[in-house]
Amino acid sequence: MTDAGGTERTLVLLRHAKAEPPGDDSDADRRLTARGDADAAAAGAWLARHGLLPDVVFCSTARRTRETWHGVALGMTGSPDETGPAGSSPAVRYEPAVYAAGPAELLALVRSAPPEATTVLLVAHNPGVSLLSAFLDPERADQQGMRTADVVVHRTRFPWADLRQADITARHTARG
Instruction: List, in sequence order, every residue forming a beta bridge with 145; answer none if it has no partner.
Output: none
Give dist(CA 102, CA 106) in Å, integer.
Answer: 6
What's the mean per-residue pLDDT of the chain? 92
* Confidence class for position 80, pLDDT limits 50, 70, 90: low
Predicted pLDDT at 5:
59
In this structure, which amino acid lies at residue 156?
Answer: T
Percent of the chain with pLDDT over 90: 84
Predicted pLDDT at 84:
45
Predicted pLDDT at 86:
47
Written in H, E and C, the secondary structure of 8-39 is CEEEEEEECCCECCCCCCCHHHCCECHHHHHH
- Does residue 17 register a pLDDT over 90? yes
Interval 19-51: pLDDT, tens: 999 888 899 999 999 999 999 999 999 999 999
Please check whether residue 110 is in contact with residue 58, taking contact to mean a CB–CB distance below 8 angstroms: yes
> 3-state class of 130 per DSSP?
helix
Residue 90 makes CB contacts below 8 A (sequence gap 6+) with 53, 54, 55, 56, 57, 82, 84, 121
The answer to which of 48-57, 70-79, 90-99 has the lowest mean pLDDT is: 70-79
Pick from 120, 122, 130, 126: which is nearest to 155 by CA? 120
